[in-house]
Structure 1
Amino acid sequence: MTDPEIARCPAPAPLARIPAMGEHTTEIAPLFEVRAEIPVAADPAVVYSVISDLPRSGEWSPECQGGEWVVGTPATVGAVFRGENLRAESVVAWAPVVRGSWTTHAEVVAAEPGRTFRWAMQDSGGRAQDSVWGFDVQAAEQGSTLVHHFRMGTATEGIRGITAEMDEAARQKFFAEWGEKLSEDLGKTLARIQSVIEKN
């Protein structure tokens, strides 16, 4: 059965390509690049005020349960957000990904009120990785168009750990299935944000 939230906001398949002869899957760049959009009946400034309030993520994210700002002025470039996350056992169940509860740290890398908000996932040493989530807001006839996107240019610390013991066939399977998961998550997130904003 199709999740009604996904049906309301279908997300395109992630961009991907087959590795060339002798090329390792984790050498492909970008590893993931997904994007989805949805109309929202609200002014861009209103939409931005919601999507940049990361502690509210639990209202719309499939995994992030919320969290708190731990460094800097909230929602400004350089600020760091500690997220509290929860992942079900059924998510790409065969792969050695984190299950249950865990925390992440993300650094804001772009914050233009009414336009764009992006954050990069940090590694265990507190360095921003080439793994960036974001929202772009554009004025539209009925309010706004909200775009949600994710791009991982090179393998993060976590991806290297997950795929370290996999052979190439397993890596390709993992990237394909994880890309599908990301696309579904973007669609769910946008539908929930739309609902949160339009109910107010």
Structure 2
Amino acid sequence: MTDTPMKDGPLFEVRAEAVIAAPPEAVYATVSDLPRCGEWSEECNGGEWISGAPGTVGAVFRGENFRSPDVVAWAPVVRGTWHTEAEVVAAEPGRRFGWAMRDSAGRAQESVWSYELAAGNEADSTVLVHSFWMGRATEGIRGITAEMTEAERTEFFSAWAAKLTAEMAATVQRVKGVVEKS
């Protein structure tokens, strides 16, 4: 399998947006607190900081995740509980928070999740954009698609992109609910 089995360029570029009735600093304080992500994420149940100062560039977070059997059920993806490590790659309070998924050797991969924040049009509001970008296939994606035909890989990437799109839209709405209740 090649690094980019479907096309030249990134494998995934997905984003979702919500306007939150709170200032960017308050929204940032929530989304950068990764141990709380189970309150809004479809797959990540939370986790813990395992190295570095929490929420700063270079800090590493160990996430506990769960995926049900019906998610792209035909594909050989991890089911049930599994763990990941992510390294913070952007930490600009009130503006941007992002992390890259690490491979089994602890290297950051071209699999970056981020939140970008900007002042909204209303007083004390924030436009929150949640993004996911994957350049070259990660260690996990290479394993999942290793035995697939080209047609199966195409189907997998289409189904996975739809899954990501739906889950990220739900995530920003959950973040909105958590922040606006605080």
TM category, shorter: over 0.9
Question: SS of the counterpart of 2:81?
Answer: strand
Where does residue 175 of structure 2 map in the other structure?
193
Give the Å deviation of 1:27.
Answer: 5.8
Counterpart among 97, 116, 123 of residue 103 in structure 2: 123
The residue type equivalent to 2:43 in the other structure is E
Counterpart among 147, 157, 176 of residue 175 in structure 1: 157
Question: SS of the counterpart of 1:25?
Answer: coil
8 Å Cα contact 1:24/1:168 also seen in 2: no
User: Take 1:38 and 1:78, find their aligned partners in 2: how far apart are those partners?
Assistant: 27
Identify unmatched segments of 5+ residues in structure 1: 1-22
Q: TM-score, normalised by structure 2?
A: 0.95
User: Can you list the C-alpha shifts for 1:59-85, whole angstroms capped at 9, x where unaligned?
Assistant: 000000000000100000000000000
Counterpart among 131, 144, 165 of residue 147 in structure 2: 165
User: Take 1:29 and 1:170, find their aligned partners in 2: how far apart are those partners?
Assistant: 19
The residue type equivalent to 1:145 in the other structure is V
Distance 1:93 1:42, change over 3 A: same
Counterpart among 136, 152, 160 of residue 154 in structure 1: 136
Give the Å deviation of 1:24.
Answer: 6.4
Identify unmatched segments of 5+ residues in structure 2: none
User: Take 2:134 and 2:116, find their aligned partners in 1: how far apart are those partners?
Assistant: 17
User: Take 1:44 and 1:176, find their aligned partners in 2: how far apart are those partners?
Assistant: 33
Aligned residues: 178
The residue type equivalent to 1:48 in the other structure is Y
8 Å Cα contact 1:26/1:154 also seen in 2: no
Question: Please, what is the CA RMSD of the aligned residues?
Answer: 1.2
User: Take 1:83 and 1:76, find their aligned partners in 2: how far apart are those partners?
Assistant: 16
Give the Å deviation of 1:28.
Answer: 3.3
Where does residue 38 of structure 2 map in the other structure?
58
Question: SS of the counterpart of 1:78?
Answer: coil
Moved over 3 A (4+): none
Alignment of 1:44-55 (within 5 A): 44-55=24-35
Where does residue 10 of structure 2 map in the other structure?
30
